Structures are given as structure tokens and as C-alpha cells.
Chains A and B, each alone.
Chain A
Amino acid sequence: MTPTLSISFRPALLVVAVMLAGTPSFAQVDLTGIWRNFNHEDWMERGGGSDPVDYLGIPLNDDGRARALSYNYSLLAQPEHQCGLNTPFYGFLDPFGNNIWTEFDPVTGRIIAYKIGAWLDKDIVTIWMDGRQHPSKDSFHSYAGFTTGEWQGDTLTTYTTHMKDGFLRRNAVSSSDQATMTMHITRHGDLLTMTALVEDPVYLAEPYVLSHSWRLDPTLNMPAVPTPCEPIAELPRMDKPGVVPHYLPGQNPFVNELTQMYNLPLVAVLGGPETRYPEFRQKLKDYVPPPICVRYCCGPNADGLNCIVDGSGKRQP
């Protein structure tokens, strides 16, 4: 006997078929929601922030290194800089979560853009999904830049141009306004992983890659927009006209802070392409650890944990 579908089952099958056929062309994976940061991941960078001259692992060229060494952090106290926003890459450096939502075409219902929220001092990133082209190279550069995206399987791949210059590390290692960023956004259950690849013909000798993960958390209070910021007279010396904090070439007073703290050679902390690769460790084969650990010894949320107390890098009982 030939099997047949019963009459009552056919409408249900039709509904399922329509649902399956309609969904994938809009979005392979739902990326929307509030995603909590893991502050134990890169916690020294995302927590207190990098030490002043720690460029290890960043493929800086000579110009990028010179710019970083000339940067005096008091510059951020100038009224014109206090309320500037960070570029999209800063989301890999700060301790905050992500709020992601969509914008729909009111007629077709298609997703025309993903939005990545901006708290506290990042610009809102709009990922255009409607196939539009990037603007001309002479167009305005904003903090967020201009981003397009397309699904590659279950991964959303984005491409950002037209950013202003921004930080690649929170110690003023910078990208230029010619930098571009490719980002791969992948969801695994309640985990969201983003991998960024920054290319910069001005300050980088090779692409700089960084990844980070967040966990879905609808209970997290994560505003979608930057907090209001009011420029003030933050530092009294900035009241004087013509004050632009900086370090002249060869005069950065913190060049050897890390070398002394960790017994590292200067060539390591000044970064560059070769410091990205495992082979660089061969250059440190005569490395002698410092006798005592003075910073970052216990890890994040370290209450009750055993801490590193010497240069061995191992936790002590």
C-alpha cells in the first residue's frame, strides 16, 4: 500500500514549509540582544588598561610606533577631546557589553541594517545589509565609519571604512583614518564571538587581529546610545592657550617602565610585526623573570585565589 499524508496533516506541513523557506534569506542567525562582556578575557587591557609603553604583539611600523610614543594621555583632558567617541575596534578593548538590534525595511520586512550600540563612549555602528556601496574615499570620516555586511554561512562578515583615527590599544597605540576593519561575528548558542582584522597602510606593517566573546544576558542594563558628555575645564593647565600635551621624539619618560617591571628587552615592548609570532620567544631565551610580581598578580576577581608572587608566572599555594 502506498503511504499517503492524511488530509488533516497537510496544512501543518505547509506552514512549516513556508517558515523554512522564508527565514534564511533574511538572517541566518539572530544576533540581536544584550551581550555581557567577559571581563576575565584580556582583563588587563579591558580593566585598568594597558601600561603606557606596551606595544608587544601589535604589528606597528615605524610611524605607528613614533605616533604612540609621542602621545601624552593628558591630551584627552582637552575640552575638544573629552567627548570624542571611540571607533568600532574599541569594543574589543573596553569592559562593556554589546546591545545589538536590527532595522527593517517597512515594506519588505527585510533586515536592512544591524546596529551595535555604543555605551559608554563608542559611536553606534550601523552594519548595512542591503547591498549598498561604500562611499567615495573622499567622503566624510565619522567615529563609527561606514560598515557593510554579508552572511557567509552562519557568520556575519562586515567591512568598515571611513573611520576617524582611533585606539588599537588603550595606551594610545592608534590606527589612522585610512584604516579598515573586517569583522566576523559568529553566534554559538548564548555566546557571541567577534574577530576583527584591522589593516592600516599608515601605522601598521601587517594586519592586527583580535577576537573577543560575549554572553547573552537579557538582564544586563546596556543602553544603546553613548552617555551624554559635557566638556569641562578638566585640568587647570589646559586653561592656558596653546597647551597641547605631547612627548617629543626620544623624550617619552615611560619607555622603560615595562622593561624594568618585567625584565623585558626594549625591542619587545616597542612592538612590531615580529613580536606577534611565537618565534619571537627565541629572542628572549635568556630571559630572567623579575624576583617579585608587582602588578596583575592575582587575576580578575581574585578573592580567594592563589596569586603569582614572583616572576615564575605560576600561582603559589
Chain B
Amino acid sequence: MKRYLTGLALVTTVMTPGAATRAYAHHSFAATYLETQNVTVEGELVEFLFRNPHSFVQLKVTEKDGTMVRYAVEWGGIGQLGQQGVTRDTFKPGDHLVISGAPGRNPEDHRVRMVSLLRPRDGFSWGHRPNEKVD
């Protein structure tokens, strides 16, 4: 397990002038996340909270200094993910996942808004098709 891009210098800054509009619910993502930045976290699934209005992927990540940190990755709600084939049983605790997304505005939250997900074991992925965006 390894966490990528922890420092500011390693944070990939992605300008997104061409991003199409999306419908968000529950809260403002712009106020919650640094949407012009992107981070990648990699670790083992602690819990998949499949729920409304947004689901959460709780990931156990080993920091560079060896400490273990639990990350909360915000994802779509039940309706949206369900239409894309994601169910409550798609993941099991311990699944090794690689997740990219926008980091939270408060670093102490260890929070990420899901942009893409990969499970290397079987190649399951999300976020690469046009409709796979967090609404």
C-alpha cells in the first residue's frame, strides 16, 4: 500500500476549463473540494457505505511516514451508481483500490471526491466512461 502525491509538489494540478456541467446534490462540491487539483490514494477498503445522498468509500492508506490513515472518498448516490452497475456488494473489505479525485479543502479531513477508481485484482474500474461522474 502506498499513498501517492502527498505533498504540494506532488499534487497534480489539473485545470478543467472544458468540464461539462454536472448536477450535484446535498452540498456544494466547489465549497468542499479543491476541484482544480487531483490526488491519487491507494489502499485497502475498510468499508463501502452505499447510501444517499452520496456513497463513501473508506480506504486505509499508509502514509509516507508509515502511519495508517483512513481516507473518506465521496462517490455517487444509490440511484446513480446503481444505474452504472455498482451495488452494495461490488466491494469487499480488504479490496485493494486505487482512487483519484479532488482533495478536500481541509487536509485534516483526509477526504477525496471520486473521479476514478481501479481495482487491480480484476480490473474493475469506474470513472472512464462519459456518464461516470459524481452527481
Known: A227-B53, A307-B17. A236 touches B31 (CB 8 A): no
22 contacts between A and B (CB under 8 A): A47-B22, A47-B23, A48-B35, A49-B24, A77-B109, A95-B24, A95-B25, A121-B26, A121-B53, A170-B27, A230-B51, A232-B51, A234-B49, A235-B109, A236-B72, A237-B110, A297-B17, A298-B19, A298-B20, A299-B21, A302-B18, A307-B17
- Once the chains are docked, how many angstroms separate the CA of A95 from the CA of B23? 6
The reply to whether A43 and B72 form a contact with Cβ atoms under 8 Å apart is no
Is A284 interfacial (CB-CB < 8 Å)? no
Which residue of the partner chain B has the closest CB to A45?
A: B28
Is A229 interfacial (CB-CB < 8 Å)? yes
Is A73 interfacial (CB-CB < 8 Å)? yes
The reply to whether B30 and A49 form a contact with Cβ atoms under 8 Å apart is yes
Known: A95-B25, A227-B77, A229-B51. A302 touches B30 (CB 8 A): no
The B contact surface, by secondary structure, is loop
Q: Which of A43, A235, A294, A303 contacts B36 (CB 8 A)?
A: A294
Additional pairs, 11, CB under 8 Å, beyond known A48-B24, A300-B21: A43-B21, A48-B30, A49-B28, A72-B106, A120-B52, A170-B28, A227-B77, A229-B53, A234-B49, A236-B70, A295-B17
Is B105 interfacial (CB-CB < 8 Å)? yes
Interface size on A, residues (CB 8 A): 46
Is A172 interfacial (CB-CB < 8 Å)? yes
CB under 8 Å from chain A, chain B span 50-88: 51-53, 56, 58, 70, 72, 77, 79
Q: How far is the CB of A252 from chain B (nearest CB, A)?
A: 11
Is A200 interfacial (CB-CB < 8 Å)? no
Q: Interface on B for A, CB 8 Å cutoff?
A: 15-32, 35-36, 49, 51-53, 56, 58, 70, 72, 77, 79, 104-106, 108-111
Q: Which of A52, A229, A302, A307 contacts B52 (CB 8 A)?
A: A229
Interface string of A84-119 (1 = CB under 8 A from B): 000000000011100000000000000000000000
Is A254 interfacial (CB-CB < 8 Å)? yes
Is A76 interfacial (CB-CB < 8 Å)? yes
- A30 surroundings in chain B (CB, below 8 A): none
- A46 surroundings in chain B (CB, below 8 A): 23
Interface string of A287-304 (1 = CB under 8 A from B): 000000111011111110
Q: Which of B20, B29, B51, B109 contacts A74 (CB 8 A)?
A: B109
Is A309 interfacial (CB-CB < 8 Å)? yes
The reply to whether B25 and A237 form a contact with Cβ atoms under 8 Å apart is no
The reply to whether B31 and A227 form a contact with Cβ atoms under 8 Å apart is no
Interface string of A244-264 (1 = CB under 8 A from B): 010000000010000000000
The reply to whether A293 and B17 form a contact with Cβ atoms under 8 Å apart is yes
Interface string of A34-50 (1 = CB under 8 A from B): 00000110010011111
Which residue of the partner chain A has the closest CB to B104?
A: A74
- A49 surroundings in chain B (CB, below 8 A): 24, 27-31
Known: A47-B23, A300-B20, A307-B17. A232 touches B29 (CB 8 A): no
Known: A47-B24, A230-B51. A237 touches B109 (CB 8 A): yes
The reply to whether A298 and B49 form a contact with Cβ atoms under 8 Å apart is no
Which residue of the partner chain B has the closest CB to A228?
A: B52
Query: Which 8 interchain pairs have the tightest Cβ spacing?
Result: A49-B28, A300-B21, A95-B23, A170-B28, A297-B17, A227-B52, A236-B70, A49-B30
Q: Which of B20, B53, B104, B105 contacts A302 (CB 8 A)?
A: B20
The reply to whether A52 and B31 form a contact with Cβ atoms under 8 Å apart is yes
The reply to whether B24 and A307 form a contact with Cβ atoms under 8 Å apart is no
The reply to whether A171 and B28 form a contact with Cβ atoms under 8 Å apart is yes
Q: Which of B29, B109, B110 contacts A48 (CB 8 A)?
A: B29
Q: Which of A228, A295, A300 contacts B16 (CB 8 A)?
A: A295
Which residue of the partner chain B has the closest CB to A119?
A: B25
The reply to whether B22 and A120 form a contact with Cβ atoms under 8 Å apart is no
